[in-house]
Amino acid sequence: MNTTEWTGIILAGGQSRRMGSNKALLPVKGSTLLSQIASSMIPEVARIIVAGGSHVTTYAELGYECVQDQYPGKGPLAGLHAALQASDTNWNLVCACDMPLIKPSFFAGMKQLAESSDQHSVIVPRIAGRVHPLAGVYHRRVLTELTQCLDQDRLRVTGWLEEMNPLYIDVQELESVGVLDAVDQLSNVNTPQEYQSIRNHER
Annotation-wise, does 33 bind a ligand? no
> Please, how many CA atoms are within 13 Å of residue 86, restricted to the half-sphere of its CB?
22
Annotation-wise, does 184 bind a ligand? no
Counting beta carbons within 10 angstroms of the beta carbon of residue 158, is it exposed (0 to 12), middle (13 to 18) or buried (19 or more)? exposed
Strands 122-127 and 130-131: antiparallel
Count Cβ atoms below 10 Å from residue 197 Cβ, excluding itself.
12
Annotation-wise, does 13 bind a ligand? yes
Annotation-wise, does 23 bind a ligand? yes
Annotation-wise, does 167 bind a ligand? no
Annotation-wise, does 73 bind a ligand? no
Task: Report the 3 state secondary structure along 35-67.
Answer: HHHHHHHHHHCCEEEEECHHHHHHHHHCCCCEE
Question: Cβ(166)–Cβ(139) under 8 Å?
Answer: no
Question: Cβ(18)–Cβ(195) under 8 Å?
Answer: no
Binding site listing for Mg(2+): 98
Binding site listing: 11-13, 23, 69, 98
Binding site listing for GTP: 11-13, 23, 69, 98
